[in-house]
Structure 1
Amino acid sequence: MIATMKAGDVVLLTTAASVQFLRPIFVRVIRELPERHTYDGWVWIEAYELNVAGDAVARRELYVRRGGVRFQAQPAAPTTPARRRPVRRGPVRVG
């Protein structure tokens, strides 16, 4: 049996999931939409489309073939360089 997608799962959608994904995309699942009737083996999901940095760029409702969904490891969080404090040279004047 193929696993149910849950909130936070990151999945890759290719043509194996649906012909609409000629250009593969990564999405972060918000939830499955069980109240929508589908064909056997298909599911509606609500998800955020992710860019190459792993940031959400669009909220989407997608109709996918459950067997074509590829679960991915969580992408590493984007890192920003640490702020450096300015180096003070010489005595500090007070007052």
Structure 2
Amino acid sequence: MAAAPGPTFRAGDLLRLSATASVQFLRPITVRVIRELEWDTYDGWVWLDAYELGSRGDAVARRELYVRREGVQLMNARQAACVG
């Protein structure tokens, strides 16, 4: 398999997922990456194993998410604290 275009996500990364990542996120969510899954996908897309974070930053659900790499917003801890 060829190297994936765009960012590679690692355990602990905080991501903001909106409609630019996938139409399933018309209501944006914040997630903490557990791992990037090595499943076959279309070019530019990736499967992520992640925890969806609630408004207080706590994990509310574990999810497997299919997203467009270039549409994902990488966040820092300060930005995540401001999301509610």
How does the TM-score come out when normalised to structure 2? 0.85
Q: Give matches, 1:38-77, under 5 Å.
A: 38-74=41-77, 75-76=80-81
Structure with bigger strand share is 2
Rounded to whole Å, the distance in 2 between the matches of 1:2 and 1:40 is 10
Gaps of 5+ in 2: none
Specify which structure has the bigger relative contact order, considering alpha-carbon pairs within 8 angstroms and separated by 6 or more residues: 2
Q: Give matches, 1:1-80, under 5 Å.
A: 2-34=6-38, 36-74=39-77, 75-76=80-81
Gaps of 5+ in 1: 77-95
Q: Give the 4+ runs in structure 1 shifted more than 6 A.
A: none
Q: Percent identity?
A: 64
Q: Which structure would you say has the larger Rg?
A: 1
Alpha-carbon RMSD across the aligned residues, in angstroms, is 1.0
